[in-house]
Amino acid sequence: MINVLISDLHLEESRPDIVELFTKFLTECVATADALYILGDFFEMWIGDDDLSPFNLMIITALKKATDQGLAIYFMHGNRDFLIGKKFSRLTGCKLLPEEYVVELAGVPILLMHGDVLCTQDLAYLKFRKKARNWFFQKFVLLQSLKRRRAIAERYRAGSKAHTSTTSAAIMDVTQSEVMRMMQKHNVQHMIHGHTHRPAVHEFELNGSTATRTVLGPWHEDGSALICKSDGSRELIVIKLSAKQTPS
């Protein structure tokens, strides 16, 4: 059994190269993988399931085709697409996951997260996150027109870029004590997340034995994926724009 995990594609109409790379990779997943896990920030921004623009419909159609062909796709919210809801799930066939989800891969329990709540030093972001994830705030936003919502999203997007350009890399990375707390909360020795855009596999001691934290890479220039096979092996791969790679 092959499970593929990706995160932080930030799909948007202005990056047709990344969109094309993903759709090709999705086709390969249908042919060679059993399940695909998308751990947030799949879209650069998502302003509501009723925004059925030609671009969004193209992505929805690609996902629906893949799930209809037998690929199980699981979706976790990120900080860019937390407004994705049940309608998106129905249209695509994707199953929505909670913010903290333990999955067994090759018999090993692994905690999946987007990763943003692990960055406990980024107080400005966490303040925004608390507001944005409030159900009343979301309901208020979704009552606005699509035009108004798009303007709100663009404003927050600009603010996010300004924040990341002026905040130290250390502050925007995960806090190790929070990583360990989350893993102990769920009684796991392995975690996989995205968000930080720093693909790597980190090993450390937890509960007297070796634990791992695997960080998925962003799709800024090339693609990135974690391939988990039935023999227990896990490999971070780079998917080049200029070359077709398969998750086999």
* Chain mean pLDDT for the chain: 94
Q: Treating both helix axes as pointing N-terminal to C-terminal, what angle do 16-32 and 54-68 enclose, rounded to 10 degrees? A: 10
Question: In the predicted model, is pLDDT for residue 191 greater than 70?
Answer: yes
pLDDT digits (tens, 9 = 90+) for 169-187: 888 899 999 999 999 999 9
Give the residue from 54, 67, 60, 110 showing the smallest Cα distance to 81. 60
Predicted confidence (pLDDT) per residue in 130-178, tens digit: 999 999 999 999 999 999 999 999 998 898 888 888 888 888 899 999 9
Tell me the pLDDT tens digit for each residue of 69-91.
999 999 999 999 999 999 999 99
CA atoms within 13 A on the CB side of 66: 29
d(CA 169, CA 51): 34
pLDDT reading at 243 higher than 70: no
Mean pLDDT, residues 29-40: 97
Amino acid at position 213, single letter:
R
81 neighbors 156 (Cβ within 8 angstroms): no
Give the rounded percent of residues in the chain with a pLDDT score beyond 70.
97
Radius of gyration of the chain (CA): 18
- The yes-or-no verdict on residue 248 having pLDDT over 80 is no
Q: Is the pTM of this model over 0.75?
A: yes
Averaged over 191-208, what is the pLDDT?
A: 96
